[in-house]
Structure 1
Amino acid sequence: MLFKMIILIVSALFVTTMAENSELQIVQSNGLFTNKLYNILARKEGNVFFSPISAHAVLAMSYLGSAGSTEKAYVSSLGLPSLAATADGYEKVTSKLNNVPNVTLLIANKVYVNKGSTLKENFKNAVVNKFHSEVENVDFASASKTAGVINSWVEDKTRNKIKDIISPNDLNADTRLVLVNAIYFKGNWQNKFDKGATRTEPFYLNDKDTIDVQMMHINKKFNYKHDESLKAKVIELPYTNPEVSLVVILPDEKDGIKDLEKKLEKFDLTKITEGTWNTEVELALPKFKIETTIPLKDPLNEMGLGEIFDQSKANFSNLIEGQEPLYVSKVIQKAFIEVNEEGAEAAAATAVIIVTLSDHGTEYFLADHPFIFVLKYGPTILFEGKCVRPKSGDSNIAPTGKPVADPLAHDIHIKLED
């Protein structure tokens, strides 16, 4: 049997009251998941970009259909609370994310069920009432047609930024379920960059090699700090809704990205802006665009969630009526971000397939070498990435002076089978 999920990246939010403890647990779990996944993805050379909340949400939906040792694997590897708390927490998170003023932030879930299968009542109630998901019956045996239906839904929810999340080869007569989460963000800076100040400048790939990039410039007050423990500068760029922001973490040394990543391995990124103060900053930031497709099976296996892919151990007995053995064959995430003078646009999608079987004067922040960035809403991390070679759609020049083709992409795929 095949169970497939697609998730598009979105963000979560903060909570303060006892009644919202389940939401806080989801935010904290997502923060832990973000760190673990980034540390694995960052081992590869090149740019990194993904939506932790998108992948986390779709995995959380599949968690609700698990039992036995598989259920325990979700808890131990992802730090998820109880099944009930996970459902309640995501109900609050999803509602808040879809009601953020002054920016465009959308998160949506969808469950596609094979026409001959029936969701168990408890699972169906949870995904519909807690994850605000629609449920649609499809014929997975008609792979091309059904893949088109799913891909069209994803494209619509991500404003055509995420395409072809599902391949017809991912579906067949054994596919029983596809869970999809889509997230889309578009926001304008609270302080826009002047396009007339953007100019071609060098960006250091390491301590000596450079490429030419389109560097944006602005001199305004931002939340800023120099973190001695990280040996890095941190700046927060708010959007028109200041609760939503892009945080840039720039190592002091031009070749300091690896050292910074090591220091951040155990760092709670939801607290990265603590200790910043509002001060005048002369900021230079490159325009960049990153598109990724990332296979998540190996990273999830390394996190301790390998059992969901094991045909002999996976237990998804709370998903579908009947006794068919189900397991995850594939998890897929595609993500996109573009940062320019106006602001940023980002989207993501993830799929899981289960088959049977203060004022201190002007500071200077010159992002002319690799840096890490986080797009967040309150303490909820929506997206995280690493920019080691900016590409804006404009000229991209290699150290030799010759144009280079750099898609700045990664792929993430996860598939479930019986």
Structure 2
Amino acid sequence: MLFKMIILIVSALFVTTMAENSELQIVQSNGLFTNKLYNILARKEGNVFFSPISAHAVLAMSYLGSAGSTEKAYVSSLGLPSLAATADGYEKVTSKLNNVPNVTLLIANKVYVNKGSTLKENFKNAVVNKFHSEVENVDFASASKTAGVINSWVEDKTRNKIKDIISPNDLNADTRLVLVNAIYFKGNWQNKFDKGATRTEPFYLNDKDTIDVQMMHINKKFNYKHDESLKAKVIELPYTNPEVSLVVILPDEKDGIKDLEKKLEKFDLTKITEGTWNTEVELALPKFKIETTIPLKDPLNEMGLGEIFDQSKANFSNLIEGQEPLYVSKVIQKAFIEVNEEGAEAAAATGFTFKNKVIKQKEYFLADHPFVISLVHGGKNSKSVLFYGKALEPHSADSFKAPVGLPIQEEKPDFLVVLSENDN
């Protein structure tokens, strides 16, 4: 009999003294995963928004319990390093992300285990000591009660932004494990937008059709570049801690989003701000708010991770004591982001300059047509991608779906994976 495992994710990161290589491997793996998942999600019409690090972290946790061909599927589809390097790398990443001053960046993991089941010692040690996960025994047969317990934990970790990540219908007596990762971010801009400068302006859905948006305006120094290979402008908007920033990638052409997406397919997103310089920019960005619920089973299957959902092939023999075979029955992520003028006064200049650049005049960045956004953490030449998406139809913050690069107020995603018992 095969039992199901559910994994919910709210991201968490941790740093140790392990070799820097393991951390870099995780950052690069997450960058590749971001590209692959986005390329699949972007086929559908409308805005796209998700947290790659949250999904990647929970999948990495489940990877630690895999074996045989299932373990190899994780490596080939997600680009994960060895089991040991993955655990060590996430320890470093999680530590860094949970210790970022001057902004609120919270990442947390939790493993819910069915009463009567026992985690294998190696897996338990890894998720507790490396992913800093809590472990709690619950009764999955009491589906409504246990779903309430899990949802309450997620709501608490995401400041009530993510609700009902799991349904009682996702749980039953065959459920053996639920892995949850949650990530929450709230930060103020280093350079604040003046609310008095926000006004209604047109946003081009293509080269001719427009909608009205609430466009924010600011004239300050930002890290900026025009990338000839992407045929797009790139600007980095730092928060009060400049290690965290919102990167906006704006195609040159009003109808250039599809072309930009094709170019980004092979682009190393961890280095998206490489080559920028600090210069005066007249910036216009719309306010936006996006909330998404994304079933990830089909995208992960397309990425080559379908074996984890296959009751006859999935091998999670390193998760639970005994002979109960497990498979993943469900993977879901919920994400939320809101961007507006809120922000603190500049606390410090980032000081990123290139000596071979001579600033002769200010640059202009008018985000009046679809663009890509990325919330990142890290140095100028290497970024961890925390959130990623695109704004196709930005609306005012009072409506409900558009992204534009602004002071990000709050955002957070949840990720759910379910491992179940096989009926065969």
Query: For residue 376 of structure 2, what is the aligned residue in structure 1?
Result: 376
1:392 to 376, 391, 396: 396
CA contact (8 A) 1:94 1:107 kept: yes
Task: Work out whether residues 249 and 373 of structure 2, in 8 Å CA contact, stay in contact via their aligned partners in 1.
Answer: yes
2:419 matched to 1:416? yes
Could you tell me the TM-score, scaled by structure 2's length? 0.89
Alignment map for 1:203-352 (pairs within 5 Å)? 203-343=203-343
In the TM superposition, residue 339 of structure 1 has moved relative to its aligned partner by 0.5
Q: 1:136 to 1:45 in 2, by over 3 A?
A: same
Q: Which structure 2 residues correspond to residues 54-73 of structure 1 after superposition, within 5 A?
A: 54-73=54-73
Q: Aligned match of 1:5 in 4, 7, 10? A: 7
Amino acid at match of 2:5: F
Which amino acid in structure 1 is aligned with residue 8 of structure 2?
Answer: I
Alpha-carbon RMSD across the aligned residues, in angstroms, is 2.0
Alpha-carbon spacing, 1:158–1:411, altered in 2? closer, same or farther (3 Å): closer
Task: Determine helix, strand or coil for the equivalent of 2:187.
Answer: strand
What is the CA distance between 1:138 and its match in structure 2? 0.3
In percent, how many aligned pairs have the same letter?
Answer: 90
How many Å separate the matches in 2 of 1:412 and 1:319? Answer: 19
In the aligned structure 1, how far is the partner of 2:399 from the partner of 2:317? 53
Native 8 Å contact 2:235 2:249 kept in 1: yes
TM-aligned CA distance change 1:101 to 1:395, over 3 Å: closer
Aligned to 1:152: 152
Structure 1 segment 133-144 matched on structure 2, within 5 A: 133-144=133-144
1:343 to 1:322, Cα distance in 2 relative to 1, 3 A: farther
Distance 2:204 2:312 in 1: 49
Alpha-carbon distance, 1:279 to partner? 0.8
CA contact (8 A) 1:11 1:377 kept: no
For structure 2, the residue ranges without an aligned partner over 5 or more in a row are: 345-356, 402-412
Work out the CA distance in 1 between the residues paired with 2:13 and 2:132. Answer: 15
Change (3 A) 1:332 1:239: same
Provide the TM-score with structure 1 as the length reference. 0.90
Deviation (angstroms), 1:12: 8.6
CA 1:395 to 1:166, structure 2 compared with 1: closer, same or farther past 3 Å?
Answer: closer
Tell me which residue corresponds to 1:401: none
Name 1:51's counterpart in structure 2.
51
In 2, are the aligned partners of 1:104 and 1:187 still within 8 Å (CA)? yes
| Kept in 1: contact 2:165–2:414 (CA 8 A) | no
In structure 2, distance between residues paired with 1:381 and 1:278: 21
Deviation at 1:167, TM superposition (A): 0.3
Asked if the contact 1:316/1:326 (under 8 Å) is kept, the reply is yes
Gap change, CA 1:247 and 1:11, over 3 Å in 2: farther
Q: Deviations over 1:121-145 (max 9, x none)?
A: 1111111111100100000000000
